[in-house]
Amino acid sequence: MDYPTLSINPEYPYVITYEDSTIRSDFEGGYEITRNRYTRFRRIINVNYKYMSSTDFTTLNNFYNSVRCTVSFNFTCPVTSTVYNVRFAEPINAEYVSYGYYNVSFKLKEV
């Protein structure tokens, strides 16, 4: 399944962060032991759209309702054209800003 094609691209800055997979154990002597939970560094992609038309918003909202935060899909990075297998990390945030236009933001987490 692929992310839907919209008539606009996400806004800049386009922010990609990495999930912290470190397990930490503190000891009474002030020492800390750390290790990675797993070897992959999963990306968290913050996506923001400004003045998304109601048509695009309906398309995106229908897509979100079909996959929610459980089903993974392919998302093509608009900057590098790299395809990531992701899922929604949280529900979509939508703000109605003008007649027929929305500011939309959400986070995608690499699977």
pLDDT 10s digits, 87-110: 999 999 999 999 999 999 999 999
Q: Which residues contact 64 (CB under 8 A, 6 or more apart)?
A: 88, 91, 92, 106
- Position 48: which residue type? N
Q: Which residues contact 39 (CB under 8 A, 6 or more apart)?
A: none
- Position 79: which residue type? V
Beta bridge partners of 83: 76
> Residue range 5-31: average pLDDT?
88
Domain spans in the chain, listed from the N-terminal domain onward: 45-110
Nearest to 75 by CA among 46, 37, 41: 46
Reduced to 3 states, what is the DSSP secondary structure of residue 101?
strand
> Residue range 69-88: average pLDDT?
93
| Confidence at residue 37, expressed as pLDDT on a 0 to 100 scale | 84
| Confidence at residue 29, expressed as pLDDT on a 0 to 100 scale | 85
pLDDT at 22 over 90: no
Query: Residue 75 CB: number of other CB atoms within 10 A?
Result: 18
pLDDT 10s digits, 42-55: 999 999 999 999 99
pLDDT at 6 over 90: yes
